[in-house]
Amino acid sequence: MSIYVGAVVAGDENKAKSESRAAGPEGYTVDPVSGRAKATGLTDGHRSYAAWCHFGPLIAGISVMATSGITFVIPPLVALALWQIKSSDSQFIDDHGKEALNFQISLILLALILIPITLLTCGVGAILYIGLPVLMIIGGIFGGIRASKGEFFRYPMCIRVI
pLDDT at 24: 57
pLDDT at 15: 42
Average pLDDT, the chain: 84
Residue 155: inside a domain = no
Buried b (16+ CB within 10 A) or exposed e, 37-60: ebbebbbeebbebbbbbbbbbbeb
> Taking the CA of residue 88 as centre, how many other CA atoms within 13 Å lie in the half-sphere pointing to its CB?
2
Residue 12: inside a domain = no
- Total of domains in the chain: 1
What digits encode the pLDDT tens for the residues 14-59? Answer: 444 444 444 457 888 888 888 888 898 899 999 999 999 999 999 9
Q: How far is the CA of 46 from the CAs of 64, 89, 90, in angstroms?
A: 27, 9, 7
Residue 1: inside a domain = no
Residue 88 three-state SS: coil
Does the global pTM surpass 0.95? Answer: no
Share of the chain above pLDDT 90, in %: 57
Beta bridge pairs of residue 40: 27
Q: How far apart are CA 110 and CA 158, in angstroms?
A: 10
State the average pLDDT over residues 85-96.
93
Domain that holds residue 112: 26-148
Q: Which comes out higher in pLDDT, residue 72 or 4?
A: 72
